[in-house]
A and B are shown apart, each in its own frame.
Chain A
Amino acid sequence: MHPIIKLVVQRIALGLLLLLAVSVVIFLGVEMLPGDTAQAILGQSATAESLANLRESLGLNQNAPTRYFKWLGHALQGDLGKALTNQQDIAHAIGQRLGNTLFLAVCAGVIAVPLAIALGLIAARYNGRWPDKVISGVTLATISLPEFVAAYFVIYLLTQVIPILQPVSMVFPGMGFFEKLHAVALPVIVLVMVVLAHMMRMTRAAILNVMQSAYIETAELKGLSPMQVIWRHALPNAVAPIISVVVINLAYLVVGVVVVEVVFSYNALGQYLVDHVAKRDLPVVQAVGIIFAAVYIGLNILADLIGIIANPRLRHPK
């Protein structure tokens, strides 16, 4: 077997084990949190009696290991169960929301990643001159804004001053593709603003780091234009740090955008997880947690793989 394929198989197998570990950690974590689902549902109107009744009907009276292994048994057969809080079918609810999460992440990623890398290359090409300074200044200013401020800013600009978009971004099954695009335009703009700087700064730094190497000098002596040198010779050698930062930001776009979801009332996984953590609704937290974990683990495998493929010395280990 080719060593790279072997590596991938190994990593995926390890990844599955990790997912199991994640499910244990999440279970223990939520168990450690004060309060339980019954208390969270009844809230201020809880009485000792109604609490006891609700606990019994939710099956919270069983001990922790029993509940975990019951959950695991069902989950391994593909049955994610029902939410404790409202008896909603978890697989169904998650299916919809996962689609929305990925839609938003893909829209933002498709714009942000190429843009950030292009800007990073330009900044590196004009290192220290005005294009570099403008790009750095603007992108740094946009990430210094907390996400919700960036969100309010675009709401103000694009729904009040120039009313071309709508502040509420919820999407529903049955909406057309372009209708959905229009709905998510504002959150996409905000997310692009938020992730741009990090990837752009890393691209710039990584390129500058390799620009001092001997082979770049050779390439320049060959008479290649500065952009050609950067594109053909510097970029391939700077892939590892760029890709690891790109992956961290892609993971963020899937997993970490709850603030943006809340501001724009976008019905995706982040808000769903936060609501159910607040209610200690373990089956839902487990399901979403596993999805998020799979995203991290999968993207990390991808990053390592690209890093290896991009570097001939790693590709053919001695």
Chain B
Amino acid sequence: MRIPLSALIGLVMTGAFVLAALFAPWIAPYPIDAAVGKVWEGPSQQFWLGTDTIGRDILSRLIYGGSVTIFVALVSSLLSFGMGAFFGFLAATRGGWIDTGLSRLVDLMMAVPSLIVALVVLSVLPLNLTVLILVMGVLDSTRVFRLSRAVAADIAVMDYVEAAKLRGERQGWIIFREILPNAMSPLVAEFGMRFIFAVLFISTLSFLGLGIQPPLSDWGGMVRENKDGLVYGKAAALMPALAIAVLAISVNLVADWILQRTSSLKGGRGG
């Protein structure tokens, strides 16, 4: 198997982020909460990426914040895909009242403003990472459901699926063997997007108060902490934004590669 250069770059970068996140305490030059410099210092020998709004080292905070950012975004995206895709496929293949029930339930969930949902969760449930991941996963799964159902509805009426049904294959077999491989490409592309949205969503929820507790901060939250200097040439907010952008591009490079492989899995040309 030959890995194209772009995918390799993506894999290496994604890997580097994950490793840095895992070994944060050993790599980070400063503790996460120590105000070691002046406010918004520029990059220097001492502080490679400069200091933040109260003089903490940005590089160290990025490294520590990376683990929680990537972990929460990844787990919640996996959750939303697991739930969204499964129920979406189920609705499309079964049709009838299962389809109607699930689809209208999703309509209802999308229709209630997420601000209200988040605030209710805040007031009722304890605040910890599990709750944060669950909220993000469940809210996002509605979007995945819509996409999966639409894609699967097209596939479910294909001759080969009809044939499988006539053969008397089980529901699970049809979903996993017939529909999933053919729906893979749009889903992988969507995953690349959802992951990035999740990274940004953490900071929105943290801002509402449902999320990461200080001194730890996710990358989006770090952008927010330092945003006021942005227009006046203080680059502190750009560092975490850049980290998010590099992560976004890396993850999507990998997604592109998977997408190429899945679309050729179906036995077309060049497979």
Contacts and interface: CB of A to CB of B under 8 A. Distances in A.
Real complex partners, A and B? yes
Nearest to A297: B107
Given A18-B108, A22-B112, A297-B111, A307 B153 contact: yes
Given A248-B146, A300-B107, A313-B157, A152 B185 contact: no
Contact of A277 (B110, B115, B151, B196): B115
A145 interface: yes
B116 interface: yes
A25 interface: yes
A244 B147 contact: yes
A149 B266 contact: no
Contact of B150 (A241, A273, A293, A297): A241
Given A143-B248, A209-B186, A293 B111 contact: yes
Determine chain B's interface SS by DSSP, over half rule.
Answer: helix
B113 A217 contact: no
Interface string A69-107: 000000000000000000000000000000000000000
A3 interface: no
Interface string B135-153: 0000000010011001101
Contacts of A126: none
A217 B108 contact: no
Nearest to B110: A296
A213 B153 contact: no
Interface stretch (B21-29, B43-51, B75-83, B219-227): B219-227
Interface stretch (A56-64, A134-142, A177-185, A224-232): A134-142
Contacts of B220: 146
Contacts of B150: 240-241, 243-244, 303-304, 307
B54 interface: no
A217 B223 CA distance: 48
Interface string A276-295: 01000000010011001100
A277 B244 contact: no
A14 interface: yes
Given A29-B116, A160-B231, A201-B252, A244 B111 contact: no
Interface string A102-143: 000000000000000000000000001000010011001101
Determine chain A's interface SS by DSSP, over half rule.
Answer: helix
B49 to A, nearest CB: 16
Nearest to A209: B185
B223 A146 contact: yes
A128 B270 CA distance: 15
A144 B123 contact: no
A202 B224 CA distance: 29
Contacts of B104: 14, 18
A124 B263 CA distance: 13
- What interface size band does chain B fall in? 35 or more
Contact of A149 (B154, B184, B230): B230
B60 interface: no
Contacts of B146: 244, 247-248, 300, 303
Interface string A206-230: 1011011110010000000000000
A200 to B, nearest CB: 10
Nearest to A199: B193
Contacts of A14: 100, 104
B120 A212 contact: no
* Among A136, A209, A243, A247: residue with most chain B CB under 10 A: A209
* Among B110, B186, B241: residue with most chain A CB under 10 A: B186
A33 B119 contact: yes
A245 B187 CA distance: 11
Contact of A208 (B6, B157, B263): B263
B3 interface: no
A149 B227 contact: yes
B112 A141 contact: no
Interface string B255-268: 01001100110101
B200 interface: yes
Interface of A: 14-15, 18-19, 21-22, 25-26, 29-30, 32-34, 128, 133, 136-137, 140-141, 143-146, 148-149, 152-153, 155-156, 160, 197-198, 201-202, 204-206, 208-209, 211-214, 217, 237, 240-241, 243-245, 247-248, 251, 255, 273-274, 277, 285, 288-289, 292-293, 296-297, 300, 303-304, 307, 311, 313-314, 317
26 contacts: A22-B111, A30-B116, A33-B120, A140-B252, A141-B248, A143-B197, A144-B241, A145-B241, A149-B230, A152-B230, A201-B189, A202-B190, A205-B188, A209-B182, A212-B266, A240-B151, A241-B151, A244-B147, A245-B190, A292-B113, A297-B111, A300-B110, A311-B153, A311-B157, A314-B153, A314-B157
Interface of B: 4, 6, 100, 104, 107-108, 110-113, 115-117, 119-120, 123-124, 143, 146-147, 150-151, 153-154, 157-158, 182, 184-186, 188-190, 192-193, 196-197, 199-200, 203, 220, 223-224, 227, 230-231, 237, 241, 244-245, 247-249, 252, 256, 259-260, 263-264, 266, 268-269
Given A14-B104, A22-B111, 19 more contacts: A14-B100, A18-B108, A26-B112, A29-B112, A140-B196, A141-B245, A143-B197, A144-B244, A144-B245, A155-B231, A212-B266, A240-B151, A240-B154, A244-B146, A296-B110, A300-B110, A307-B153, A314-B153, A314-B157
